[in-house]
Structure 1
Amino acid sequence: MQYTDSTDIKEQNQILTKQRPIRILHVVGGMNRGGVETWLMHVLRHIDRDRFEIDFLVHTTKPCPYDEEVRSLGSRIIPCLAPSQPRLYARNFQRIIKEYAPYDIVHSHVHHFSGYVLRLAKEAGVPIRIAHSHNDTSSLETKAGLYRRLYLALTKWWIARYATIGLAASRLAAASLFGSAWERERRYQILYCGVDLAPFRQSVDRVSVRAELGIPTDAFVIGHVGRFEAQKNHLFLLEIAATIAQKQPNMRLLLVGDGVLRPQIEQKAIEMGLDKYVIFAGLRADVSRLMLGAMDTFVLPSLYEGLGLVLIEAQAAGLPCVFSDVVPAEADFIESLVQRISLSQSASAWCEAVLTTKKAQSLITQTQAYQLLEQSSFTIHNSLKQLEALYLEPYFNEVKHKN
């Protein structure tokens, strides 16, 4: 969505000079180093903070990695607890809206629960309400029990009723939350969560990066970035690594991230005799540096994804990528770097696919990959331009209606 009419632009600028900044409340579980939260940080860093004021409503009181930077940029972290207790959550939400009012936009990123959030936002008088789908959970929904199916049906109905805008990270993510006929409604559209590509322009000393991580300079390093949750399929990743280690003894598996399943995965690695092969790097703020300096290949055997934004970053780093065929097609940006494989295939089949990337001669340099992505819809600048337009159009219509 772009504004090309000069009269419209002039009118918008006049309204902006008369009005206070547009106030937006993003709803997330917590400001952790996940894909959604990292994109929101890119937005916060690059958006015009004189025109847009952003706060974050979170479902935890525990400190999260991005909290300090959020506050340093002038935004607030506002806990709203008890999402599993609807009445208590509603009271907390209503209190927050009254205390920090007014908000022009509530932008919710908590998938199905967004239905309840936007219902409460409507009741609180927030005029613009956005449901944002970042995942394709359709495979999980087919396995849901009776009560879960009732919950899903209700929350989807609330989204259809109370969302004034519906955004999705991919076509599959859109269908997952808004239904298979989502394209028939103008309020539903795709918004690619852009990456800040600037770090991928930097020169990185591979020897020093690997030395920091205890990785031999001649090791073949398989990289993975993701939360330690069932979705990311770390157990299968260990099976793949074990198979590769039998054929490539100098292999290393570099796991970047944290999560509730990390202790289980660490223990499993020991039981499988992989402890000398697997490096648990934890949460890192320098993912681009690790991709450029430590990794040779990127592997993502996820059970489901909304887009797999980390694959865009891996392609920006010029890494060959082997990933599950459930990942949305939009992630296949540089075809010479990507290889899909079914999760029904064995660890041995995945092993062969990964080892093929080691033997194959790259058809594209990292610089060329970066330059291609710089012209794509996946940059933070293009993503932010679309997002600002989505915020502004209904806001201007609301202001004009009041006037």
Structure 2
Amino acid sequence: MGISQKDVGSRPLRILHVVGGMDRGGLETWLMHVLRTIDRTRFTMDFLVHAAQPCAYDEEIRALGSRVIYGGDHHSLWGYKKRFDEVLALHGPYDVVHSHVAYFSGRVLRLAAGQGVRVRIAHSHSDRAAREAKFGIKRRLYVQLMQRMIRRFATAGLAASEPAAASLFGANWASERSVEVVHCGLDFSPYAEPIERAQGREQVREQVRAELGIAPDALLIGHVGRFEAPKNHAHLLEVARSLRRREPRAWLLMVGDGALRADTERRASEVGLDQVVFAGVREDVPRLLRAMDVFVFPSIFEGLGLALVEAQAAGLPCVISQSIPQEADVVPELVCRMGLEQQAGLWAEAVLQMAARPRPSARQAHRVVANSSFCIAQSVENLVRIYGR
């Protein structure tokens, strides 16, 4: 059941998003695009986070009039309940609790129901099926319990893709009227600016490469994502090594940060991969993408892969793993899918082929992506409908 104008009167509809932390990941970046775009005179969005340390987007969230609220230790059964109730008593009432914390959403939405929150949303952003299959019985029992709680306490279920829907809501999710796939949208206007004129695009490319110490004529492959196991940076390094043997001008640019960054840097050094740049967390991802020749995305699993959609908006050819949902192929002519069981040398050959193959212009690619279900206007429109106002 949604919230009507009569329910809230003249005040804005109040939404509490529950997330791990507001760092620069795909989910978090989408939420920031929503916050920047949604009519903040009609909707207010606060963020209950599980991360005790400050995160990249916290300052901007507060500057836009929203709160970042620490939710306490979610591993403590009663401690988390006490803190959740305190947050709703202190900062509420909330009309919507929108939970983005995978299976733990079952716990969150049960607590929200106990506080009388009418709209309770469980949102799946990842396909965890293969990963969960490797865990033991204790984890499987936890997942089953949380899924039962989600079915009982969620008034709506959302997913970033069909595989993500099946992962959280079960194989028969499509038969559930309350569950739907809603693509996370972004504002793709930054990708339109330099393609208004070809000269401007080349200038950006040259500037970025000069800043990073990369030769203008290098074959630059790139990746954007957190340094976490599912992103498969180890395979990316092997692809870069194989590519270097075939093309001495090859460079690798990796954008992002995370727990495995130091290990990845160490491994690159150990194997003698010196033509590599670790750019860290950046706010100018559109600029960096324009400097690349090919985007490589070898994820072990993804809910969708918004970075891949951004790469297509930039007009980049993309070599990606088969595990990424088909829905992410917004401009199919730009995408080459490879199996993770295939050797790095085959991936390197695919990179060379995609770099040389005729493809849509950057202008054409941007137009297709900007008019797709991944545009931020469509995303916000869907949320407004689901919130019920």
1:152-163 to 2 correspondences below 5 Å: 152-163=143-154
Residue 169 (structure 1) aligned with residue 160 (structure 2): yes
Q: TM-score, normalised by structure 1?
A: 0.92
Q: Could you report, residue by residue, the CA deviation over 1:46-99 in whole angstroms, capped at 9, with x for unpaired residues?
A: 000010010000012211110000000000000012111222111111111111
Aligned residues: 379
What residue number does 1:6 align with? none
What residue number does 2:95 align with? 104
What residue number does 2:104 align with? 113
Could you say what secondary structure the match of 1:106 adopts?
strand
What residue number does 1:329 align with? 326
1:260-271 to 2 correspondences below 5 Å: 260-271=259-270
What residue number does 1:390 align with? 386
In structure 2, the CA distance between the partners of 1:17 and 1:186, relative to structure 1 (3 Å rule), is closer
What residue number does 1:282 align with? 280
Could you say what secondary structure the match of 1:355 adopts?
helix
Q: What's the offset of the Cα at 1:359? A: 2.1
2:179 pairs with 163, 188, 210, which one?
188
What residue number does 1:352 align with? 349
1:34-45 to 2 correspondences below 5 Å: 34-45=25-36
1:108-257 to 2 correspondences below 5 Å: 108-203=99-194, 204=201, 205-257=204-256
Where do 5+ consecutive residues of structure 1 fail to align? 1-10, 394-403
Q: Could you report, residue by residue, the CA deviation over 1:90-143 in whole angstroms, capped at 9, with x for unpaired residues?
A: 111111111111000000101111111111111111111000000000001111
Could you say what secondary structure the match of 2:388 adopts?
helix
How many angstroms apart in 2 are the aligned matches of 1:359 and 1:198? 27
Q: What's the offset of the Cα at 1:23? A: 0.3
Q: Give the conservation status (yes or no) of the 8 Å contact 2:297–2:321.
A: yes
Q: What's the offset of the Cα at 1:373? A: 1.4
Q: Give the conservation status (yes or no) of the 8 Å contact 2:239–2:347.
A: yes
How many angstroms apart in 1 are the aligned matches of 2:137 and 2:244? 43
What residue number does 1:343 align with? 340
How many angstroms apart in 2 are the aligned matches of 1:220 and 1:126? 53
The amino acid of 2:163's aligned partner reads L
1:25 pairs with 16, 24, 49, which one?
16
Q: Give the conservation status (yes or no) of the 8 Å contact 2:336–2:354.
A: no
Residue 91 (structure 1) aligned with residue 82 (structure 2): yes
Q: What's the offset of the Cα at 1:34? A: 0.2
How many angstroms apart in 2 are the aligned matches of 1:193 and 1:302? 18
1:61-72 to 2 correspondences below 5 Å: 61-72=52-63
Could you say what secondary structure the match of 2:56 adopts?
coil
What residue number does 1:396 align with? none
What residue number does 1:318 align with? 315
| Bigger mean CA offset, 127-136 vs 351-360 | 351-360
| Bigger mean CA offset, 201-210 vs 144-153 | 201-210
Q: Could you report, residue by residue, the CA deviation over 1:184-238 in whole angstroms, capped at 9, with x for unpaired residues?
A: 1111001100011010012242111111111110000101000000000001110
Could you say what secondary structure the match of 1:177 adopts?
helix
The amino acid of 1:117's aligned partner reads V
Q: What's the offset of the Cα at 1:263? A: 0.4
Q: Give the conservation status (yes or no) of the 8 Å contact 2:164–2:303.
A: yes
The amino acid of 2:112's aligned partner reads A
Where do 5+ consecutive residues of structure 2 fail to align? 195-200
What residue number does 2:198 align with? none
Q: What's the offset of the Cα at 1:361? A: 2.3
How many angstroms apart in 2 are the aligned matches of 1:319 and 1:189? 30
Could you say what secondary structure the match of 1:280 adopts?
strand
